[in-house]
Amino acid sequence: MLIGKPSDLPSSAITSKDQYLNRRRFLRGAAAAGAAALGASRVADILSPRTAARAGTKLQTVKSPLTTTGEQLTSYDDITHYNNFYEFGVDKGDPVKNAGILPTRPWTVRVEGLVKQPKTFDIETLLKLRPLEDRIYRHRCVEAWSMVIPWVGYSLSEFIGQCEPLSKAKYVQFLSYYDKHVEKWTNESSIFWPYTEGLRMDEAMNPLALLTFGLYGEVLPNQDGAPVRIVVPWKYGFKSAKSIVAVRFLEKQPPTTWSQQNAQEYGFYSNVNPSVDHPRWSQKTERRIGQPFYAQRRMTLMFNGYADQVAGLYKGMDLRANY
């Protein structure tokens, strides 16, 4: 089994809290040292409590049995400095530089569509709906790189229960925050904004699907999808919508951003499948970020290693056609 108790993970495989806090202190010191060069207004934009600050805020968590064992965690520094978040630039280092403009407080998530009654949840209510769990998950990007991330959240199914969807709701769609009046949200004009993703209802109800509020025991940094995102560990990373502001329950399969952008390369299901290559590169192997060069390349696992938990969702489906 690939899922076990967190105690099964040897302490030698975990980046120590002191280690990543020391990195954080160093970065904060570097930011302060460069304040004069950046200018007071720019520093205020980056470090404002209304936008990015809450980074470093601790979350109270409990251990979860739904966690991946036997994997070395990717460092906090790599997780927060190597990101795909196209609203803030297309290069991996762009989000950490540009995402400070994302206003994470106040924050609400609207619930719409086929529900008993439309609702709106503020972020503080969402944080208190269920105990927050520590869960280590593999993260696999369609670009053939991967990480191992200690997320904080609770099963998406717990939130869906609070939404009270109607029985004819077969899909759930997620919409990300978008501000067309801010330059960084308009650089990629060919993308249909706001960013949207979706899951079949039984996928969303699987216990592994996570409503996520933090990583490494702290609130999510802006560049990683603050203040609330979805994590679907058996699918390629773009399925895990960041900075969500609306959840819609639908009878028919919703459009999703990357399928709209290029349906031949990015299908609705997007399950990690080493036997289905991306048209422009192989998916048979992946590069683990943060590992020594000789240890980075590894074989890709079916469903990212979570086949025991999710393969039954796709029984009888042609996973080459439904990529």
pLDDT tens profile 42-54 = 323 333 333 343 4
Answer whether residue 37 shows pLDDT above 70.
Answer: no
User: What counts of helices (H) and strands (E) characterise the chain?
Assistant: 11, 15
The C-alpha torsion from 296 through 224 and 173 to 318, rounded to 10°, is: 0
Q: Which 8-state DSSP code applies to residue 190?
A: T
d(CA 11, CA 8): 9
For 232-282, the DSSP string reads -TTB-GGGS--SEEEEEEESSPPP-HHHHH-TTT--SS-B--TTS-BTTB-
Answer whether residue 239 shows pLDDT above 60.
Answer: yes
The C-alpha torsion from 297 through 302 and 308 to 309, rounded to 10°, is: 100
The CA distances from residue 274 to 68, 141, 285, 299, in Å, are 20, 12, 7, 8
Mean pLDDT over 64-78 rounds to 97
Give pLDDT, residue 20.
40
Answer whether residue 100 shows pLDDT above 70.
Answer: yes
Q: Which two tokens stand for residue 46?
A: 């980056």
Domain 57-314: top CATH class: alpha beta
Give pLDDT, residue 217.
97
Q: Which two tokens stand for residue 67?
A: 């966690």
CB 155 within 8 A of CB 232: no
Give pLDDT, residue 21.
45
The domain segmentation of the chain, as residue ranges, is 17-47, 57-314
The CA distances from residue 242 to 176, 219, 281, in Å, are 6, 13, 25
d(CA 205, CA 120): 20
pLDDT tens profile 276-322 = 999 898 999 999 999 999 899 999 999 999 999 999 999 999 998 89
Answer whether residue 188 shows pLDDT above 70.
Answer: no
In the predicted model, what is the mean pLDDT of the chain? 86
Least confident range of 21-25, 187-191, 238-242: 21-25
CB 251 within 8 A of CB 171: yes
The CA radius of gyration of the chain, in Å to the nearest whole number, is 19
